[in-house]
């Protein structure tokens, strides 16, 4: 028989291995968005990746974007460990190192792998020339998806995350404000670089900067969706004079669980039972229809649910 402590360590190790593998997948997806779709489009995200792209343009494309990202992230990473402790540990190192490595790999900037250069594939070049907005959208989605996956499994890519976390701890700054200020400064700096060097003859630097803010909005919203999960279930609070009948239907006919909570009506000053249940999106209509059929005066509140752990619902992880 396996000792409880040994079993717990085994489960923890398996979970940690899974987390690192998924962080690598997220870093690769994020790298595809940056390396293949955004760098040559000259639409920069905020933070360290955007600053690295700006210096890549400033150097005449001689400095690899991934290498520059890694160089910038090292002092931020060390600063984060000093100020915030172990939460900026191995996961963060794996996150930003693998992301930088994948970016240079996909762009052919790693020694001996110069033939990869996915950003020069005819399909990508054609997309950049004929459907620029769609290309930026793809880059935004991949960037947000990859970053969201990394955050979901408790990793980070250092950069602005460290600045925001330290700013909150030391000076009480709100992380959202820090992100907004840092990203705006980076996008503005990149726009100035693109304008001064005349890097894009088809689109003014101001237009590219507006695309960059659009990219920032799309990717940040997608990060929230990945972390919180899609709305795949609904919770319902049912206040009725016939809770037993409604609860019986929910349990026996719909196959869902329900909890009855003793409550007191403030207006009537009478005790009553309040039902709480969770159903899938497609079952909401059926639930409301049945409740109204049993008790037309029932009060029903339906809320979005991002995560449900338990019988009848699949985990989001």
Domain annotation for the chain: domains and CATH numbers: 4-228 (no CATH), 233-305 (3.30.70.120)
Q: What pLDDT is attached to residue 316?
A: 54
Strands 233-239 and 258-264 turn out to be unpaired
Q: What pLDDT is attached to residue 186?
A: 93
What is residue 46's DSSP assignment? Answer: S
Contact 74, 95 (CB under 8 A): no
Q: What pLDDT is attached to residue 308?
A: 72
Give Rg (Cα) of the chain.
Answer: 25
- Per-position pLDDT tens, the chain of length 317: 445 455 445 545 667 888 899 999 999 999 999 999 999 999 999 889 999 999 999 998 899 999 999 999 999 998 888 887 766 678 889 999 999 999 999 999 999 898 899 999 999 999 999 999 999 999 999 999 998 888 888 788 888 878 887 887 788 877 667 888 888 899 999 999 988 887 766 788 899 999 999 998 898 888 877 766 665 688 999 999 899 999 999 998 888 889 999 988 887 788 888 999 998 888 888 899 889 999 999 999 999 887 777 666 655 55
Q: What pLDDT is attached to residue 34?
A: 96
**Direct distance between the N- and C-terminal alpha carbons of the chain, in angstroms, rounded to an integer:** 29
Closest CA to 258 of 249, 271, 268, 269: 249
Q: Of all helices (H) and strands (E), which one includes residue 4? A: helix 4-32
Q: What pLDDT is attached to residue 89?
A: 78
Structure tokens belonging to residue 129: 């020339």
**Which residues make beta-bridge pairs with 161?**
none
At CA 165, angle to CA 160 and CA 166, rounded to 5?
Answer: 100
3-state secondary structure 241-296: CCHHHHHHHHHHHCCCCEEEEEEECCCCCCEEEEEEEEEEHHHHHHHHHHHHHHCC
Structure tokens belonging to residue 71: 């160089």
Closest CA to 50 of 38, 32, 59: 38
Please count the CA atoms within 13 angstroms of the CA of 194 that sit on its side-chain side: 27
As a whole number of angstroms, the distance between CA 129 and CA 109 comes to 23
Residues whose CB falls within 8 Å of the CB of residue 35, separated by 6 or more in sequence, listed in order: 65, 66, 102, 103, 104, 106, 107, 118, 119
Q: What pLDDT is attached to residue 2?
A: 45
Q: What pLDDT is attached to residue 67?
A: 95
As a whole number of angstroms, the distance between CA 183 and CA 117 comes to 27
SS3 of residue 234 by DSSP: strand
């Amino acid at each position: 028989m396996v000792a409880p402590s040994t079993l717990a360590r085994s489960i923890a190790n398996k979970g940690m291995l899974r987390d690192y593998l998924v962080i690598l997948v997220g870093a690769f997806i994020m790298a595809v968005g940056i390396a293949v779709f955004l760098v040559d489009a000259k639409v920069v995200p905020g933070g360290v990746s955007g600053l690295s792209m700006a210096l890549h343009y400033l150097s005449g494309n001689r400095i690899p974007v991934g290498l520059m990202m890694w160089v910038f992230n090292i002092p931020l990473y060390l600063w984060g460990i000093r100020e915030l402790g172990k939460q900026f540990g191995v996961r963060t190192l794996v996150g930003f190192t693998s992301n930088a490595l994948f970016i240079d790999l996909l762009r052919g900037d790693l020694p001996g792998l110069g033939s990869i250069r996915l950003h020069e594939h005819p399909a990508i070049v054609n997309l950049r020339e004929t459907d620029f907005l769609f290309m930026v959208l793809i880059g935004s989605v991949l960037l947000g998806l990859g970053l969201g996956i990394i955050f979901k499994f408790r990793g980070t890519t250092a950069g602005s995350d460290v600045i925001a976390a330290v700013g909150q701890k030391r000076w009480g700054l709100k992380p959202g404000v820090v992100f907004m200020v840092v990203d705006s400064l980076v996008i503005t700096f990149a726009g100035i670089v693109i304008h001064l060097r005349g890097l894009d003859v088809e689109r003014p630097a101001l237009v590219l900067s507006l695309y960059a803010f659009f990219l920032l909005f799309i990717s940040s919203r997608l990060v929230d969706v990945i972390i919180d999960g899609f709305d795949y279930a609904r919770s319902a609070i049912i206040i009725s004079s016939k809770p037993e009948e409604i609860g019986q239907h929910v349990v026996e006919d719909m196959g869902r669980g329900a909890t009855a909570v003793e409550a007191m009506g403030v207006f009537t000053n009478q005790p009553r039972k309040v039902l709480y249940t969770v159903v899938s999106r497609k079952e909401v209509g059926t639930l409301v229809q049945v409740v109204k059929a049993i008790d037309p005066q029932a009060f029903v509140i339906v809320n979005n649910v991002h995560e449900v752990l338990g019988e009848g619902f699949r985990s989001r992880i």
